[in-house]
């Protein structure tokens, strides 16, 4: 499940990068990294839930129950680290890389930008 989550996060971060690069999407809009990261994480989690027919709550509960065993599993630990890297570093970097500079007078007005 963790490796599928990594694959989905990678796929969705690439799709996010593509969306951010499109002129009609990037324009003068600023994507907030925390909102984009939550969106990507939720979509990836949903894909895992569909594939394995298990809820996020069930996965969390099982993770807590088997935490000691999972922490000794190299594949699990590696996949968890990769997930954190994508969510905490790659997505925010994508948002910053495509944000207009303050000199361009960036004003936020899209669904992922401001509330």
pLDDT in tens, 5-24: 999 999 999 999 888 887 55
- Per DSSP, helices labelled H in the chain are 2-21, 23-26, 33-52, 56-65, 67-71, 74-85, 91-98
pTM: 0.78
pLDDT tens profile 91-115: 999 888 776 655 544 444 444 555 4
Q: Is 69 helix (H, G, I), strand (E, B) or coil?
A: helix
The predicted model gives 61-88 an average pLDDT of 95
């Amino acid at each position: 499940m963790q490796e599928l989550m990594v694959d989905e996060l990678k796929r969705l971060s690439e799709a996010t990068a593509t969306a951010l690069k499109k002129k009609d999407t990037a324009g003068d809009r600023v994507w907030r990294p925390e909102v984009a990261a939550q969106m990507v994480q939720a979509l990836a989690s949903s894909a895992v839930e569909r594939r394995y027919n298990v809820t996020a709550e069930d996965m969390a509960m099982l993770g807590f129950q088997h935490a000691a065993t999972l922490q000794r599993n190299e594949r699990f630990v590696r996949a968890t680290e990769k997930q954190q890297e994508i969510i905490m570093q790659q997505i925010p970097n994508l948002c910053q890389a495509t944000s207009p500079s303050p000199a361009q007078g960036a004003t936020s007005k899209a669904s992922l930008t401001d509330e």
